[in-house]
């Protein structure tokens, strides 16, 4: 299944080999907003990812150490997904995507609040989010 083949030694290319598709960064986004999600949580988010695609992306991201599975504290039937350090390190990237999008799309009001905070002091925002996610 989701095994990685590098197209080149270029760091951009190698990065895209892992999360360069329409869905992976949305999974990362959900984990940055919610800190931890179950399989069902991902399915609920508004872009409506197909369940087989979700499964393959989660596997890919786990194999590449961007996310980890943990057992749910209150049920063996549930699984918790979280970002690893490598995943949390995508935070600056995600923020730059938001800033770019802010310039060229209309932002939903809730995101706007967060972005104001980011614009005030980007590094501080990243630092506090980083702690929050660990």
Partner DNA sequence: TAAATTCGCTTGCGTTTTGCAAGTGCAAAT
Partner DNA sequence: ATTTGCACTTGCAAAACGCAAGCGAATTTA
Element spanning 80, H or E: strand 75-83
Asked if 81 and 34 count as a contact pair (C-beta separation under 8 A), the reply is: no
Q: Does 111 bind its own copies (CB under 8 A)?
A: yes
Q: Which does 73 bind (CB under 5 to 8 A by kind): its own copies, DNA, none?
A: none
- Cα separations in angstroms, 73 against 38, 84, 132: 12, 18, 19
Which residue's CB is nearer to its own copies, number 74 or number 104? 104
Q: Does 10 bind its own copies (CB under 8 A)?
A: yes
* Direct distance between the N- and C-terminal alpha carbons of the chain, in angstroms, rounded to an integer: 29
Which residue's CB is nearer to its own copies, number 7 or number 76? 7
Q: Which stretch binds DNA (CB under 7 A): 11-19, 53-61, 86-94, 119-127?
A: 53-61
| Interface residue with DNA, options 51, 70, 85, 128 (CB under 7 A) | 51
Nearest Cα neighbor of 93 from 66, 60, 113 is 66
Rg (alpha carbons) of the chain, rounded to whole number: 15
Pick out residues in 64-93 that bind its own copies (CB under 8 A).
86, 89-90, 92-93
Please give the residue ranges that form the binding site for DNA (CB under 7 A).
21-23, 38-40, 48-53, 55-56, 58-59, 69, 72, 75-79
């Amino acid at each position: 299944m989701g095994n990685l083949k590098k197209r080149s030694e270029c760091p951009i290319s190698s990065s895209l080999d892992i999360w360069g598709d329409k869905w992976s960064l949305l999974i990362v986004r959900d984990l940055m907003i919610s800190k931890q999600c179950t399989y069902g949580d991902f399915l609920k988010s508004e872009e409506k990812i197909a369940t087989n695609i979700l499964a393959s992306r989660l596997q890919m991201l786990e194999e590449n150490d961007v996310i980890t599975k943990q057992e749910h504290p209150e049920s063996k039937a549930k699984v918790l997904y979280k970002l690893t350090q490598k995943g949390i390190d995508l935070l600056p990237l995600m923020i730059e995507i938001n800033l770019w999008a802010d310039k060229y799309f209309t932002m939903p009001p809730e995101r706007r609040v967060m972005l104001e905070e980011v614009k005030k002091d980007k590094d501080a925002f990243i630092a506090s989010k980083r702690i929050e996610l660990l």
